[in-house]
Amino acid sequence: MQIDLHFGMTWVVARFAGFNNQQAQIIAHASQYVDDATNQGHIKFNNGATYARITTAHKMLDYRNLQSLKNRQVWIPFHFLPGNGGLPAGSNPSGSFIRKLVCKPNSYVAKDMISECLGNRHRPYALHLLGITSHVFIDTWGHQGFAGVQHKLNHVRDIKDHNGKIDVHWTQKVANYFNNMIQDDIPSLGHGQALSNPDLPHQHWSYTNGLGELVERNNPIDFLAAANELCKVYQMYLGRAQTGLNEPLKEKIMQCYQDFKMDCGETRLALWLDAISNDEFGVGACQLSYIPKGMGSWKHKALGTELHDGDEDEYEFSHDFLVSDWKLFHDAAKQHRLNIVDVILPRYGICVS
């Protein structure tokens, strides 16, 4: 999924579930920031203090650098949560190990992830962790059928729309996206070969995967189910009855999926934010904005200046840094990665550390 859902829709669902506006903004911001925290390395301060940030996403288009993009510490815990074939711990799907790594909606692994998140409600970074967990959780619907490793299962061919019409321009679109790489060299990592089709809320499509299996995808139906289950997670977090979204809100969210048909996530987000400012979702009007980098961003507020990418730069230390949203996000990201890689996946016989 893209920024319109990870930020805009997530805020709406959090508010409906019972979080106040400030809490919902932290959750939604952290959810989207998973896709924007592309830098790593230590931050150095002028008093000798240091802080190690981590990467939760890779920069776009650098798919030829497979040693970087096959980094399972990023793809698997933050974007393509293994589904273990939809089976509980102690059970194995038929076939080879890759079947354990394929993302499945609302899997037992995903539910364990939720439990670990709830177990950290006492942490200073609890809401940031909930935002990260939210991102990964709803992406189990968007990224279903794909795995966060380089494998032929992720091969995509014969993409068709809901009318069964083949996208004859798909090969050229992929070639353009990957800087004119020839088809045989296009990496089969995650849903790269499917481009943005798995992430578009209005898309109803099908394709044949690398194992020769026909896959039917109805994103609006899947994404509404994701929003409803996310609401139940938030209600559980708050100790409320897990009733999910009410029918009017489901209808409004589905209307947004169907009406906002632009392929650009930023354009769709602007429409979501307009609807939020007009209280069209019935959860309270709010003027929301999201700044990933630069002036006004979480990074900028944490360090009091522009954050440079060079590891040799030093910043003035302030005790406010210790409670900044940017640091708390990275604290939460480390906790999340630990939960997934070292605690949860080994229960399912999956080792990716």
pLDDT in tens, 151-195: 888 888 888 877 666 665 555 555 555 555 545 545 555 556 667
3-state class of 306 per DSSP? coil
147's tokens: 């795995």
Across the beta sheet with 204-209, the strand order is 156-161, 204-209, 214-218
What average pLDDT does the chain have? 89
Look at the chain and report how many structural domains it folds into: 1
**pLDDT of 22:** 97
- Tell me, what amino acid is at 82? P
**pLDDT of 155:** 85
Does the residue 259 lie in any domain?
yes
Does the residue 353 lie in any domain?
no
Q: Which residues contact 269 (CB under 8 A, 6 or more apart)?
A: 3, 4, 7, 8, 290
215's tokens: 């896959």
> Which stretches of the chain score pLDDT less than 70?
59-71, 163-194, 306-312
103 touches 80 (CB < 8 A): yes
336 CB burial (10 A radius; 0-12, 13-18, 19+): buried
pTM of the model: 0.92
331's tokens: 């604290």
**pLDDT of 197:** 86
316's tokens: 């003035």
SS3 letters across 133-171: HHHHHHHHHHCCCCCCCECHHHCEEEEEECCCCECCCHH
pLDDT in tens, 215-255: 999 999 999 999 999 999 999 999 999 999 999 999 999 99
Calculate helix-pair angle for 265-277, 247-259, nearest 10 degrees. 140
What is the separation of C-alpha 247 from the centre of its chain, rounded to a whole number of angstroms?
25
- The full DSSP string for 14-72 is HHHHT--HHHHHHHHHHHHHTTT----EEEEETTS-EEEE--SS--TT-TT-HHHHT-H
**pLDDT of 177:** 54
Does the residue 28 lie in any domain?
yes
237 touches 295 (CB < 8 A): no
Calculate helix-pair angle for 126-142, 10-17, nearest 10 degrees. 120
Domain that residue 298 falls in: 3-348
Across the beta sheet with 314-315, the strand order is 50-53, 41-45, 314-315
- The full DSSP string for 315-336 is E---GGGGG-HHHHHHHHHHHH
